[in-house]
Chain A
Amino acid sequence: MMGYLLRRLVAFALTLLGAAIVIFLVLEILPGDPAAVTLGLNAAPEALAALRAEMGLDQPALLRFFSWIGGLVTGDLGLSYTYRVPVAQLIGERMVVTLPLASMAILLASAIGIPLGALAAANHNRAGDAAVMVFAQAGLAIPNFWFGLLLVLVFAVGAGWLPAGGFPGWQAGFWPALRSLLLPAVALALPQAAILARVTRSAMLETMQEDYVRTARAKGVSRRRTMLRHVLRNALIPVVTVLGLQFSVLLAGAIIIENVFALPGLGRLVFQSIAQHDLIVVKDLVMLFSALVVFINFAIELLYGLIDPRLRQAS
């Protein structure tokens, strides 16, 4: 187990390093002069020189790269050019929106997708199965930002039950804050729920062919109990993996959804930073997003190794 852990850890660190190199190359080396990108075409030479010094552009690229990595490790992410506050502080402020939003979306997607998939598998080739598959196709085809707009039309503009956008902040109280995250979380959860329903269904259909399922039935275990205890439980392994792999899709979705609902989260921050050419923030945020994706995949692989001992030995 230690060997497996160590190998995965090295792979994890190397992937992170690779991501950092790509991000640094694209955002610091390719533009030629990042200060000029930040300030635009008509910048005064003195302002350019001052920003170059602030960004450390007078230093060799390799040194800049390592000081950026050092900053990432110690939490010193530099100063946002537009907001004039430390990027770490900006990220901290925005994280309290994005993290609950993503968590709510994952919970909702699991709560909808897994039971629906199980229902479809249990009713294989019957009306219930067909209905779930239609839902899944629709969930995959409907863009989540459009679904978000439709939710606003129905539940905010039409019924007036929930806010159409914005975020009052957690200091306004738990319920008002949660209410403003509900519609975005549902919009974000829809495609995930569709994918989970499909994966759960096919994993369960696959598991239903296993000998131990037949044995359980032959021993007199009820169909319902067999489905829950033997089929669903074993089928959950690939479902958890897909849940992890879909995390990057969820993050990408959050960037768009936060813009639909004007939520002051990380997604909106990165988007605003592009509009304002704030390359320092863009660089740190893209790194944060890809680090999150890599970390979740790493955690899922570890979890997989724990669940299935064969995988530990295989790699």
Chain B
Amino acid sequence: MSAVAPRSRPRRWWASPSFLVGLLLGGLVVAMALTSYVWTPYEPTQMAILKRLRPPSAEHWFGTDQFGRDVFSMIMVGARNSLAVGLGAVGIGLTIGSALGLIAAIRRDGWLDNLIMRMADFSHAFPAVLSAIMISAVWGPGMMNAVIAIAIFSLPYFARLARGAALQCWALDYVLAARAAGLTEMAITRQHVLPNIAGVLVVQATIQFALAILAEAGLSYLGLGTQPPAPSWGRMLNEAQTFMAAQPWLAIFPGAAIALSVLAFNLLGDGLRDAVDPRMRRSRD
């Protein structure tokens, strides 16, 4: 490092090692999911009883499961599933949660603000697994229900974050000027508040995305997520449990896929947060 480096130049987000590692791993997962639409080494749901429980080899990189299905192909297609649930859940949580947070900020300290924030507080009493359990008890398990359960879990985080960040914006001089110029609250929110808070929302979305992948894996493991025959990493782990004493690869590869994906989006979120909120850097570096 040069001794005459500028004093307080903000670190570029793309130069942070955690962001780069996250980008690399995340890119790998996304590439794997996209590739699986056009190519997988084997048909992921195709059973081949004669080839069951084969260890990893040149023919089957990650071995085969108890039905002779190719584990690597299943992991590729499972990536699709994890990303889809993550996108769906975070998309819903981000959209509805941020909208509620922005409304609460406009109506600050009014009854609507109070109501929205109390609801956000209250939804903490229901971790994603509990929501999923209730939803599954009534409508049965499934991928869509997992998405809803995880979205309910992430919603209050976005609502609280959007409200807090929006309130700071509302106190800025140019927002006050816009008000004085006669712009409506909705217009100010759209033109000034939302672009300003988008950064922190994206950071939170990345971190929630990692949590969503983890939650989906947990729900699928319990049988409350994606249903067979669609491959999912969580269920692969569940099915592996019976065989893992003699065939440990069945438990190792899907778990590693989950851990690497979660790690990727956590690192991405951390890198982005450092860029968006440099104050965090002091205590995190």
Interface, chain A (partner B; CB < 8 A): 14-15, 18-19, 22-23, 26-27, 30-31, 37, 125, 137-138, 140-143, 145-146, 149-150, 152-153, 157, 201-202, 205-206, 245, 248-249, 251-252, 255-256, 259-260, 270-271, 273-274, 277, 279, 282, 286, 289-291, 293-294, 297
Contacts and interface: CB of A to CB of B under 8 A. Distances in A.
Given A206-B283, A251-B127, A293-B125, A259 B263 contact: no
Contact of B133 (A37, A125, A145, A270): A270
A22 B263 CA distance: 34
A291 B248 CA distance: 39
Nearest to A31: B138
Nearest to B262: A141
A19 B125 contact: yes
A274 B133 contact: yes
Interface string B247-262: 0100110110011101
A248 B240 contact: no
Nearest to B219: A256
B244 A153 contact: yes
B214 A143 contact: yes
A141 B266 contact: yes
Contacts of B134: 23, 26-27, 282, 286
B284 A286 contact: no
B20 interface: no
Contact of A149 (B128, B133, B251): B251
A142 B267 CA distance: 13
Contacts, number: 128
Contacts of B259: 138, 141-143, 146
A146 B124 CA distance: 25
A279 B137 contact: yes
Given A27-B137, A202-B283, A141 B260 contact: yes
B129 to A, nearest CB: 4
Nearest to B25: A141
A27 B133 CA distance: 10
B237 A145 contact: yes
A202 B284 contact: yes
B229 to A, nearest CB: 20
Interface in B127-150: 127-130, 133-138
B111 interface: no
B203 to A, nearest CB: 16
B248 A256 contact: no
Interface size class of B (residues with CB under 8 A): 35 or more
A149 B244 contact: yes
Contacts of A149: 237, 240-241, 244, 251, 255
Which residue, B121, B128, B134, B266, has most C-beta atoms of chain A within 10 A?
B134
Interface in B51-93: none
Interface string B175-189: 000000000000000
B280 to A, nearest CB: 9
21 contacts: A14-B118, A22-B126, A27-B137, A30-B138, A137-B266, A140-B262, A141-B210, A141-B266, A142-B262, A146-B259, A150-B252, A206-B283, A252-B130, A255-B129, A256-B218, A256-B222, A260-B241, A277-B137, A282-B137, A286-B134, A293-B124
A33 to B, nearest CB: 11
B125 A274 contact: no
Given A137-B267, A138-B263, A248 B222 contact: no
A36 B237 CA distance: 33
B245 interface: yes
B201 interface: no
Nearest to B252: A150
Contacts of B128: 252
A184 to B, nearest CB: 14
B162 interface: no
A274 B136 CA distance: 7
Contacts of B7: none
